[in-house]
Amino acid sequence: MMKAYGGVLIVADALLLLLKILYYIVEAIYRIFVPVEEKSVAGEIVLVTGAGHGIGKELALKYASLGATVVCWDLNPQGNNGTVEEIKQMGVAKVYGYKCDVANREEVFKVAEKVKQDVGNVTILINNAGIMPCHTFLDHSPEEIKRMFDVNVMAHFWTLQAFLPSMIQNNHGHIVALSSVAGFVGLPNLVPYCVSKYAVRGLMESLDEELRRSSKDKPSKIKFTTICPYMVDTGLCKKPRMRFPSIMSLAVPKMVADEIVRMQRRNIKQVSIPKFLIHLDHVVRCLPDMCVPAVLDFVNAGVEPDS
């Protein structure tokens, strides 16, 4: 009797699951034509790592223009101070700059405590800082590989440990992480980099799920957004290779930053820039294994080794 009852429950749960899947498919199609309204970030405290140049700088400028209090972190104080001054020239007073090596846990916690005292609790954390040496796998030195993981992966852990507790306590916050299209597919001359960007996606997805499951009595309002850009013209891609430059050229940092802010304000969980790349990856992964290298050969995009 109990077995039969258990079987009925499984069938009922399976039917409910199918209904949920159908609902979410219809909702996703609807949102293609009617996007979610962008939420306000005015009054939020936004911390951007790697704010001294490139995407990080453009993100800081964009959030400042939207009325947020902006906290700029960078290892390079000259570039970081330049971003802060540029924001002040916009007539924005609520901007703060701090020198911080995000790969150093002790330094992250020390500077984070100063931010809390000077500014308040960070409500939007953007883990943008990253490095991308381009060599064949065996040409990477052990020190270079370790540094890449310290900056591209471990820094996310340290900033999250520093700022997530207050978000959980207040049940309010948003985490944005910069992964990469290289976090979807393995590429030559970028082996450690690809691994680091795969790791970022795994970190964001698992942490999001952990908070969802641990807060059923009071649903978590902390949002997660993982951004996977194609090659961006920030100086990291020194020798890009592309077969179709008219449709897959280096992206402009300002355009990428604008899209990141737009996706964060719409609570999008994961997106590539351009958007079609994430959908292309999903489709190709459903095909036989050899379809992936066939598509990569056709597209023929990537980077050549640094000199």
The catalytic residue among 5, 23, 98, 193 is 193
Helices marked H in 102-252 — which ranges? 105-118, 142-149, 155-170, 191-214
CB 47 within 8 Å of CB 158? no
Active-site residue flag, 193: yes
What CA–CA distance (Å, rounded) separates 181 from 184?
A: 5
CB 145 within 8 Å of CB 192? yes
**Strand partners for 178:** 227
CA end-to-end distance (rounded Å), the chain: 72
DSSP codes, 26-86 = HHHHHHHHSPPPPPP-TT-EEEEETTTSHHHHHHHHHHHHTT-EEEEEES-HHHHHHHHHH
Torsions phi, psi for 58 (to 5 deg): -65, -35
Catalytic residues, which ones? 193
